Structure 1
Amino acid sequence: MSTETVLQPPVAAIRHTETRLHGHTLVDDYAWLRERENPEVIEYLEAENAYCSASLAATEPLQKRLYDEMLSHIKETDVSVPFRSGGFWYYSRTEQGLQYSIQCRKVAGSISASAPDSLAPEEIILDINELAKGESFMAVGSMTVSDDGHLLAYSIDNKGFRQYTLQVKDLRTGELLPERVERVGSVVWAADSRTLFYTIEDEEQKRQYQLFRHQLGTPHDSDVLVYEETDERFNIGAGRTRDRQYLILGSASHTTSEERFLRADQPTAAWSLIAPRQDSIEYYADHRGGLFYIRVNDTGRNFRLITAPVASPGKQQWTELIPHRADVMLEDFDLFADFAVVCERSAGLEHLRVTPFAGSGAALAPGREIAFPEPVYAAHPHINREFETATYRYGYQSLVTPGSVYEYDIATGASTLLKQQEVPGGFDRTLYASERIFATAPDGVEVPVSLVYRKDRFRAGANPLWVYGYGSYGYSLPIGFNSNRLSLLDRGFVLAYAHIRGGGDLGKPWHDAGRLMHKQNTFTDFIAVVEHLTARGYGDPARVSAEGGSAGGLLMGAIANLRPDLFRAIVSHVPFVDVMNTMLDASLPLTVPEYEEWGNPNEKEAFEYMLSYSPYDNLAAKPYPAMLVKTSLYDSQVMYWEPAKYAAKLRRLGTGAHRLLLQTNMSAGHGGASGRYDYLKEIALDYAFLLEELKAGE
């Protein structure tokens, strides 16, 4: 490679390799970039970082202004809404100048209190800033308090590779107990506050596959292996029912699941199976009054709700409470002593329906839906730990309404606002408009699009346009408030969120229509959205940008190959762009389980279809948009070499004068920087790139 001057883009060495399969030859000239320990690889990544910095050097004053703006809209010293759990109120708070939150609690008074006694002494149970001292990255995975309130089990990752270490803290003394376990996933206490169950991942594929039982005070090597999942498609996770009566062990692939249960007060007893796994059937259980309430998609993709007796939970004992509906996705349910909250999605929007139990039985009364005031919004359950309660907490926000926590009174149906995210710096929501429109895909399907813009800056056909997409794993694109976006909106951007197929915005069938042999719909949907927006005057066709990350980065790579002419600039975060080489390597994390999302390339038909859209394999000698491609050296989900190889090949093949920048965070993982101030700097760089490329004014 050549790095004579910082202003010259690095050129990665070509080392030709070939893979022959199904009558095709896959050429990979940059496979050597996988060698993380090779000094030449690090030198190349650092050269790309230097080139990126030099290319954006003129924007440094703008980056500083953007950072200051975004910071000015954040209440740096703040406290979350406290939630009740057992004998305590728990909350987190932040302090100005500190990168991470501080996890706290106070002893609870009356069970009917809606907030902790302000005079009660605060107990800091975990200060993440203290954990982060001397570290360039810090993330907390699991964090759970024992039933007696004395012990905190938590796990931390100091690399960004999402490999967590479990520790146990005595909250009475502040001391760490000798317990320490590597590669831990889920963690759950038994009722005796002495027995701890935890899952661990295998060393290569990062698949949670073993459940262990640990007795406090005993050596780690004496822990009992309770369950091992041998099917490489499945990951396991353990949790506890809201009534605290049972532990649940789930084993799930992308399309199939099964669960086992154990009485929380009998930790050494044998686990029992609810129902054996059946291909393409998922189910998820909670418990109340001797019955399991189970969300299951056995009669339709969008799930139904049934009950089953704990004594014999097999399918022959199932009783239906809510049937499957083709136009309503049953996304979840929250179960309490006297009522349930059914979380549904229809027409792309979330709905929360509060349904009291009819008498003393299991049947649900008709109930009532919580009303929301805007046409485009996000609503979701908040933290509700107490099983016996007369209130329910939920979160609400929209593209123009800051995140809010409400408490719903079950008896009266009244919602009380407990806290709304404060946006300092003069935010006036009436200046902004939000819309929901629909674009028509090439096959006639109507694709929802959510929009937000500043009303006094909108000029039909003249605004810079930013379109965001994901479209994978059945993930529903959240439509929430983000104060960072004000820096784009106030400069005249129209922001659009494309609810394309492959996501879950319109239920499981919407996901099915954008995965496996239908994946191309994801990309053509996004292109149709962009064409619709510019045709309707929502953006200047010459100033269109797109952004996506991870599987959304695959989307960015695909649309750049299919329609580079539509876009002036693309920001691609940790993009999954080397589809074929990754999916052909079963030793990599996530690969085998992902066959159910992308297909198994060892099968000829799937191989050829995946090859038809793989961004890395379809790069060609043609003009591409300006691109900012971002990755992290310790990413465990999309390995850093995918974006690095992609950028190297694109730099060689792409024609035209548009910039190509690759930036690698050398001390983080899939989500980028872990500290909140460091993360703002990353966003400021992204925005500066977009503003410069789209010539958006100050």
Structure 2
Amino acid sequence: MDVTTDVTAPVAKKVPSERTHHGDTFVDHYEWLRDKNDPEVIAYLEGQNAFTETHTAQLDGLRKDIFGEIKSRTQETDMSVPSRRGRYWYYARTEEGKQYAIRCRCPIADDDDWTPPEVTADEPLTGEEILLDANVEAEGHDFFSLGGLTVSDDGNWLAYSTDVIGDERYTLRFKDLRNGELLDDVIANTAGGAVWSADAKHVFYQTVDDAWRPDTVWRHDIGAGRDDVRVFHEPDERFWVGMGSTRSDKYLMIGVGSKITTEVYVLAADDPTGEFRSVAPRVDGVEYSVEHAVIGGTDQFVIVHNDVRDGVKAENFAIDIAPVDDPTNRRELIAHDPERRIEDLDAFRDYLVLSYRRAALPKLAIADLRGVDGVPAPADFHEVEFREELCSAGLAANPEWATPKLRIGYGSFVDPTEVLDLDVATGDLTLLKRQPVLGGYDATDYVQTREWATAVDGTRIPLSIVRRKGVDETRPAPLLLYGYGSYETSIDPSFSVSRLSLLDRGVVFVLAHIRGGGEMGRYWYDNGKTLTKKNTFTDFVDAARHLVDAQWTTPQQMVAEGGSAGGLLMGAVANLAPELFNGVLASVPFVDALTSILDPSLPLTVIEWDEWGNPLHDPDVYAYMRSYSPYENVEAKPYPPILALTSLNDTRVLFTEAAKWVARLQELSTSDNPILLKTEMSAGHGGVSGRYKQWEEVAFELAWILQQTGAVSPPPPE
């Protein structure tokens, strides 16, 4: 319940703008909010910010408490576990009072030493060299983001890129690590990362087109000026371009991909001025990735793919190997399994590591090539076991191809993130570091469980649930239901310091693994995209109804949360079942989806047609999107309290979407529930930068959630 009912939201003027496609005309009264250079638009956003601040002012004390809790549980001066690459250990550390991490390295004393230096929070490692202090780089800027940081193979050069606006246009710079001097070479408007050639004389980077699509790879010769060589360009607007290298450092790679089709080009890293060659020509609907391995004493490309074999498409992916000098001569390494979604295969000198998921759970299996004569069989891959079945687990930083041990990351709802070394021969896991949680955290105070809801069509939807032990299970509890459900993204149970501020106040947290995500395999994704997208929304609603029916919670105690494409979910759910929730939190929400996907000039639109369909040219897709796009389907009904968060410089989901959506909701909602918009005026898609600012933002969100779930009551009006 909000206590500042005498405050009114700024009313956006209505300027009719007609949009007609396939015989359908939609009159949009708030399209004028698109122009962020219009002073009236800025005034409107600032007015909404003031309205939101006034309406949530009674939560200021709670926000301060939560910020203090996050801060008190966090070891502010800390250090990551060093990872070995070449002659150095690389790591990052933070210092109390500073917003950003400091990137460092120290020399390796013994080439045979693979045991990382002991992590110490208070003192730098012996021989420490600071590569980049982001706090220094961020001075004088309201926003700062590090796009990439790459050291050449010989350890002498650093390439790094920064964004101080939030629009993800990065400036690339180079540093001579032998003397600490910055070169005059400065490249603006890059896509973020950089890749070095083997001789450290050339660096490859990407630029973007007018629609923010990375489309071109350039080669920059260090110290040779700005006349860079264009080595690759992708004209098809459906495809993004990426640049990388194999872990062995033997090959440079250019990856070209749409949502459903990929192609990979390779070039020997010691021949940086040569021509990239395609491993396999692109075929519509076929995705593949490539890694280099030495198997049976020969150089092989390991190819993870979903191609057709013997008339059957490898929907959940299979793995082939092929000689690097004849990639067409492929043989099967791991066959397709409809119950197992293969996500990746990482190659090391002595190991192959298979990452996959089964029944919505992430898995790792490892083959030790030293114990295999020739090509490993599926039986040679042995699964790694973790303490908790519900967890996030996978390879961590393993930059060295010849590493004798594998670095693994693990965490769960109840287990703080751990960094472990795995001895493949023995199966022993050695704990290198557990995320420190100050204040006497005890994992046994919390319980995580898996439940299954049933969708309206009978599909079983996995739910991951965590609560504090002692929450009265005989009565409904405050509950936060989180969902995403797009792009085949899997959201696994992981630890969160800030979430403790909810759990310790009796809030139950639930992840709904809805269709459109990747938790249950490729079919789970395929049945939550394009012309089946509504399954994503109805799955979330059915999950919420299950939680009510199972007496986990009540509609008066439940808040829904999602961001970006998950914000689209929030908008659709608010239209479908507003009665189920006492709050909807939508971060950078993609709620004006149809307008955006109809406009090829906007960032990301054309490549998104594989995800949502092409409403510009297909009337069926247009009609389907028109039927669920949140903005167009806002109507006169009693909406729950809604908090929308956006950023002025977001290039992925424009601030316009949240601004228009809120204006329409405020116009049409028949309830007295506040519809709030908060715009960060100097941030991008990821929100504010700097850890303390981020904690403040998290505290703002959590305080609102606690109020709407009823876990805390607002103070009485003065």
Query: Equivalent residue for 1:188?
Result: 195
Tell me the secondary structure at the aligned position of residue 301 of structure 1. Answer: coil
Q: Secondary structure of the residue that 1:47 maps to in structure 2? A: helix
Q: Which secondary structure state, in structure 2, belongs to the residue aligned with residue 115 of structure 1?
A: coil
Matched, 1:76 2:76: yes
Matched AA of 2:230: L
2-side partners of 1:288 and 1:628: how far apart?
A: 49
Alpha-carbon shift at residue 540 of structure 1 (Å)? 2.7
Aligned counterparts of 1:637 and 1:87: Cα–Cα separation in 2: 39
Q: Tell me what 1:637 maps to.
A: 652
* Distance in 1 of aligned mates of 2:615 and 2:13: 28
- From 333, 341, 344, the equivalent of 2:353 is 341
Matching residue within 273, 276, 281 for 1:271: 276
Number of aligned residue pairs: 690
Q: Does the CA-based 8 Å contact 1:285-1:294 persist in structure 2?
A: yes
Contact kept, 8 Å, 1:390 with 1:411, in 2: the verdict is no
Deviations 1:238-296 (A, max 9, x none): 11111111001110011110001000001111111100000011110011232101111
Match of 1:140 among 121, 135, 146: 146
Aligned mate of 1:201, from 202, 208, 229: 208
Aligned to 1:45: 45
CA distance in 2, matches of 1:650, 1:418: 50
Answer with 386-395 or 113-122: which moved more.
113-122
2:413 is matched with which residue? 399
1:617 equivalent to 2:632? Answer: yes
Listed one character per residue, the Cα deviations across residues 194-242 of structure 1 (whole Å, up to 9, x for unaligned) are 111111111x21111111111111121x211111001101011111111
**Structure 2 equivalent of residue 522 of structure 1:** 536
> Counterpart in 2 of 1:107?
107
Aligned-residue RMSD, C-alpha: 1.3
Structure 1 residue 66 displacement after superposition: 1.0
Residue 628, structure 1, aligned to residue 643, structure 2: yes
Report how far residue 458 of structure 1 moved.
3.0
2: distance between equivalents of 1:104 and 1:403?
21
Contact map agreement 1:302 1:507 (CA 8 A) in 2: yes
Contiguous gaps of at least 5 residues in structure 2: 119-123, 309-313, 714-718
Aligned residue for 1:126?
132
The residue that corresponds to 1:298 in the other structure is: 307
Structure 1 position 91, deviation (Å): 0.3
Q: Map 1:197-236 to 2 at 5 A.
A: 197-202=204-209, 204-220=210-226, 222-236=227-241
SS in 2 for 1:340: strand
Residue type of the alignment partner of 2:126: A
SS of 2:498's partner is: helix
2:630 aligned partner, one-letter code:
P
Counterpart mapping for 1:426-445 below 5 A: 426-445=440-459
Alignment-derived partner of residue 246 in structure 1: 251
Map of 2:90 onto structure 1: 90
In the TM superposition, 1:338-377 aligns within 5 A as 338-357=350-369, 359=372, 361-364=374-377, 366-377=380-391
Q: How does 1:569-580 map to 2 (within 5 A)?
A: 569-580=583-594
Write the letter of the residue equivalent to 1:424: L
Q: Deviations for 1:79-136, whole angstroms, at most 9, x for unmatched residues? A: 0010001110000000010000000000012233311388631100000000100001
Instruction: Give, as a single letter, the amino acid of the residue that structure 2 aligns with 1:437.
Output: E
Of 687, 690, 704 in structure 2, the residue corresponding to residue 672 of structure 1 is 687
Which residue number corresponds to residue 339 of structure 2? 327
1:59 aligns with 2:66: no
- Residues 60 and 18 (structure 1 numbering): CA distance in 2 closer, same or farther, change over 3 Å? same
2:301 alignment partner AA: F
Name the CA distance, whole Å, in 1 between partners of 2:440 and 2:45.
Answer: 41
TM-score (norm 2): 0.95
**Structure-2 separation of matches of 1:32 and 1:95:** 45
Give the aligned partner of residue 437 of structure 2.
Answer: 423
For residue 360 of structure 1, report the CA deviation from its aligned partner.
5.6
Residue deviations 1:423-451 (CA, integer Å, cap 9, x gap): 00221111110001100001100000000
In the alignment, the residues of structure 2 paired with residue 308 and residue 108 of structure 1 have an alpha-carbon distance, to the nearest angstrom, of 36
Once residues 159 and 238 of structure 1 are traced to their aligned partners in structure 2, the CA distance between those partners, rounded to angstroms, is 24
1:135 corresponds to which letter in structure 2? H
| Partner SS state of residue 649, structure 2 | coil
Aligned residue identity for 2:264? E
- Contact 1:6 1:54 survives alignment (8 Å): no
SS in 2 for 1:447: strand
Aligned to 1:408: 422
CA contact (8 A) 1:109 1:116 kept: no
Answer with 668-677 or 359-368: which moved more: 359-368
Measured in 2, the distance between the counterparts of 1:167 and 1:478 equals 35
Partner of 1:564: 578
Aligned equivalent of 1:172? 178
Q: Does 1:116 align with 2:117?
A: yes
The SS at the match of 2:93 is strand
CA distance in 1 between partners of 2:572 and 2:125 (Å) = 57
**Counterparts of 2:21 and 2:356 in 1: how far apart (Å)?**
44
Report deviation, 1:58. Answer: 1.1
1:43-91 C-alpha deviation (Å, 9 max, x unpaired): 0000000010111111111111111011111110100010001110000
CA contact (8 A) 1:108 1:116 kept: no
Amino acid at match of 2:376: A
Question: C-alpha separation between the residues in 2 aligned to 1:481 and 1:548?
Answer: 18
Query: Does structure 1 conserve the Cα–Cα contact (< 8 Å) formed by 2:84 and 2:114?
Result: no
Offset of residue 675 of structure 1? 0.5
Q: Does 1:470 align with 2:484?
A: yes
Distance 1:119 1:43, change over 3 A: closer
Structure 1 position 510 matched with structure 2 position 524 = yes
| Distance in 1 of aligned mates of 2:663 and 2:236 | 36
Q: More displaced, 486-495 or 451-460?
A: 451-460
Q: In 2, Cα distance between the equivalents of 1:219 and 1:82?
A: 35
Show CA shifts across 1:567-625 (max 9, x none): 10011000000011111111000000000000101210000001110000000001001
Distance 2:432 2:137 in 1: 30
> 3-state SS of the aligned residue for 2:219?
strand
Q: Tell me if the contact between 1:106 and 1:116 (Cα under 8 Å) persists in the aligned partners.
A: no
C-alpha distance in structure 2 between counterparts of 1:361 and 1:153, whole Å:
39
**Cα deviation 1:287-321 (Å, max 9, x = unaligned):** 1232101111113111111111111112xx11100
| Secondary structure at the counterpart of residue 484 of structure 1 | coil
Given the superposition, is the C-alpha separation of residues 175 and 360 from structure 1 closer, same or farther in structure 2, using an over 3 Å criterion?
A: farther
> Does structure 1 retain, via aligned residues, the 8 Å contact 2:280–2:327?
yes
Is 222-231 or 684-693 further displaced after alignment?
684-693
Which residue of the partner structure matches residue 255 of structure 1?
A: 260
Identity over the aligned pairs, expressed in percent?
A: 45
Task: Say which is worse superposed, 351-360 or 582-591, in terms of deviation.
Answer: 351-360
Tell me the amino acid that sits aligned with residue 69 of structure 1.
E
1:176 is aligned with what amino acid? L
Instruction: Give the aligned residue type for 1:207.
Output: R
Paired residues of 1:548 and 1:572 also in contact (CA < 8 A): yes
Q: What SS class does the counterpart of residue 10 from structure 1 fall into?
A: coil
Shift, 1:6, TM fit: 9.7
Distance in structure 1 (CA, Å) of the matches to 2:472 and 2:137: 46
Provide, for residues 454-499 of structure 1, a one-character-per-residue CA deviation record: whole Å limited to 9, x for no partner. Answer: 1212343421111000000000012100010011101110100000
